[in-house]
Amino acid sequence: MTDALHAALAVMKSEQGAAAADVLAVSLSSEFAARAKCEAPQTIRRLALISPTGFRGRKLRYGPDGGTLGLPWLYRLLTMDCWRQGIFDTLTRPGVIRYFLKRTWGAEDIDETFWRYCLLTSRQPGAANAAFYFVSAFLFSTDINQLYEGLDGPVWVSMATRGDFTDYRGRHTVEGRKNWQFHAVEGGALPFFEDLPAFTKKLDPFWDVDHPSQKIQH
């Protein structure tokens, strides 16, 4: 996932001459964006992280560099030929996707267009691959808090006030640093679906228009 972001940034630089990009990442992709920034700091200027993973207060992650929380036994179990497709079909039933989006929103009223988009993407060839890696925790970094603490550029964070993604007790590790900003944005984990003008009003000042750069949403 991080390599894919590096590749996208390289294409932008070659095609548009951008020295560095402003990157907006949502949820788990915040971990990939943070790693990309640490690996190639000159390619990313500013990071906006929307409902980022890695700040839950129960257990911060200072594990091995570049490691994952992956459970090989669980991945092998989920992907056995005899039930692999059945498990994925169950996870991506319309009602199941709606259930998890309600938890993400922290409300009954979700964005119906996004729900339909989720249904469409889950029907694409190879869609199960990332899903099984996610469920078996291979996409979560063991060292994410080390990565966050290693970020030396401007970082803007949107914290949800509703739903399953409201635990940011772990932010104390970076909250006092001058390059970090934390904002409690009213709504669920995807607040731009609920009130885009209110969201951009908080985010727009973070993008420095006096030093234009390319922006990429991840």
Q: What is the pLDDT of residue 212?
A: 45
For the cut 80, the answer to whether the pLDDT of residue 216 exceeds it is: no
Q: What is the pLDDT of residue 208?
A: 73
Asked if 128 and 172 sit in the same domain, the reply is: no
Asked if 116 and 101 sit in the same domain, the reply is: yes
For the beta carbon of residue 101, count every other beta carbon within 10 angstroms. Answer: 21
Using an 8 Å Cβ cutoff, are 27 and 53 in contact? yes
For the cut 90, the answer to whether the pLDDT of residue 218 exceeds it is: no
Instruction: Write the DSSP assignment of the chain as a string of letters.
Output: -HHHHHHHHHHHHHHH--SSEEEEEETTHHHHHHHHHHHSGGGEEEEEEES-SS--SS-----STT-B---HHHHHHHT-TTTHHHHHHHHTSHHHHHHHHHHHHTSS---HHHHHHHHHHHTSTTHHHHHHHHHTTTTSBTTHHHHHHH--S-EEEEEESSSS----GGGGGTTTSTTEEEEEESSSS-HHHH-HHHHHHHHGGGS-TTS--EEEE-
- Give the model confidence (pLDDT) of 158-214 as tens digits: 999 999 999 999 999 999 999 999 999 999 999 999 999 999 999 999 997 554 444
Asked if 148 and 211 sit in the same domain, the reply is: yes
Q: What is the pLDDT of residue 209?
A: 56
Asked if 211 and 148 sit in the same domain, the reply is: yes
Asked if 146 and 56 sit in the same domain, the reply is: yes
Residue type (1 letter), 193: F
CATH of the domain at 164: 3.40.50.1820
Instruction: Write the DSSP assignment of 20-43 as a string of letters.
Output: SEEEEEETTHHHHHHHHHHHSGGG
Of 81, 116, 135, the domain-final residue:
135
For the beta carbon of residue 68, count every other beta carbon within 10 angstroms. Answer: 17
Using an 8 Å Cβ cutoff, are 177 and 86 in contact? no
- Count the domains in the chain: 2
Asked if 63 and 82 sit in the same domain, the reply is: no
Question: What is the C-alpha separation between 66 and 74, in angstroms, rounded?
Answer: 20
Of 109, 135, 161, the domain-final residue:
135
Longest CA pairwise span in the chain (Å): 57
Range of the domain at 193: 2-67+142-217
- Give the model confidence (pLDDT) of 49-67 as tens digits: 999 999 998 789 999 999 9
- Give the model confidence (pLDDT) of 74-116 as tens digits: 999 999 999 999 999 999 999 999 999 999 999 999 999 999 9
Asked if 212 and 150 sit in the same domain, the reply is: yes
Handedness of CA 100, 146, 182, 50 (dihedral sign): negative
Asked if 129 and 161 sit in the same domain, the reply is: no
Asked if 163 and 206 sit in the same domain, the reply is: yes
For the cut 70, the answer to whether the pLDDT of residue 217 exceeds it is: no
Of 86, 116, 135, the domain-final residue:
135
